[in-house]
Amino acid sequence: MAEAKRAKSNELGKEEQLELLYYMLLTRTLEERLEALLKQGKIVGGLFRSLGQEATAVGSAYALDAAKGDILSPLTRDLGAMLVMGATPKEVFAQYLARGSAPSGGRDQNLHFSDLKRGFIGTISPLGTLVAVMNGVLLAARLQGKKSVGMVYVGDGATSTGAFHEAANFAAVQGLPLVIVAENNAYAYSTPTTKQMRILNLADRAKAYGMPAEIVDGNDVVAVYRASRRAVDRARGGAGPSMIEVKTFRMRGHAAHDNQHYVPKELVEQWRKRDPIDQFEKSLKGSKVANKAEIDEVRRRAGSIIGSALAWAEDQPAPLPETASSGVYRDDLRQR
């Protein structure tokens, strides 16, 4: 695992930009491998790809500082954010393969796992809930005298939940150092944003809570980073919560079973031309930050980590059936 360096300021040096590229490539390569495993029938359950959204996850998470106790809660399509915070490909493979040595011990799926030390709290399936939980994380930090910032991700669909509205309002009233990353990828499962809301931007929702919001191109990793960094600095400075709406596009169906026939083909083609990794590589070369050989080296590094992680995960045994019965309470109650 590469050690995230984290930029000291809004401006990114060469090393940091290559690191952003690395995490995006790591995300995509990992998911491509997961898709291959799914086709081989090895994945237990569904697969939720973040294809086309790698920049939003990586660019936003990169603005946090784990050394200051920053913490995030990603969605299932924010694998890149988990990786930036130090989640490993080994853990992700073991989760999807439902192995006993997976972080959840085979008790929960995909990215539903947490590590408070590394600074990530896995989501649960009812959406919007983790905004409320993150408020509590930040209340705790305040009572403990820490300057931590919390970042929580919601999709366009989750912004319709009561949990989201209650929690966004609560964060504003309490002036918590929260950054809400609202990922507008145009569809919630099959439902377009036009059937989700009568406003054009998710960012407009923030106004109702007296919370500033910024709209950013979600396929431009540097733009996402800069906006996130502004929001993080603002939160750490005591100015309260804010929202970033990242405009992006879900390039696959909701999960692997969904061929997204409901999405106009032209729209997919338009967004394919705006692939976040292709765009960033072009920009790195065009601005002479990195040459082809250097970019190829980053790609090779990501691929090699994925290969060894998968080999490890496939060797791991399934959980023992009887382990299902323990761990509900600290002291197990009588089961039968």
Residues interacting with other proteins, by CB under 8 A? 103-104, 107-108, 112-114, 116, 121-122, 124-126, 129, 131-144, 162-163, 166-167, 169-170, 173-174, 327-330, 333-334
Distances (CA, A) of 102 to 111, 226, 277: 11, 34, 29
Q: Whole-number minimum distance, CB 273 to other proteins, in Å?
A: 39
Report yes or no: 52 and 75 within 8 Å, Cβ to Cβ. no
- For other proteins, the closer CB: 273 or 334: 334
Q: Whole-number minimum distance, CB 66 to other proteins, in Å?
A: 15
Backbone angles phi, psi at 324, to 5 degrees: -60, -25
Q: What is the Cβ-side half-sphere exposure of residue 30, based on CA atoms within 13 angstroms?
A: 36
For 278, the token pair is: 């292709």
- For other proteins, the closer CB: 105 or 212: 105
- Owner of token pair 């002291």: 331
- For other proteins, the closer CB: 122 or 177: 122
Report yes or no: 127 and 76 within 8 Å, Cβ to Cβ. no
DSSP helix/strand/coil, 216: strand
Backbone angles phi, psi at 118, to 5 degrees: -75, -20
Q: Whole-number minimum distance, CB 113 to other proteins, in Å?
A: 6
Q: Whole-number minimum distance, CB 334 to other proteins, in Å?
A: 7
- For other proteins, the closer CB: 266 or 331: 331
For 217, other C-beta atoms within 10 Å of its C-beta total: 18
For 241, the token pair is: 């919560």
Q: Whole-number minimum distance, CB 42 to other proteins, in Å?
A: 22
- For other proteins, the closer CB: 261 or 329: 329
Q: Whole-number minimum distance, CB 166 to other proteins, in Å?
A: 4
- Owner of token pair 């929690």: 167
Helix 276-286 / helix 292-315 crossing angle, nearest 10 deg: 140
- For other proteins, the closer CB: 201 or 316: 316
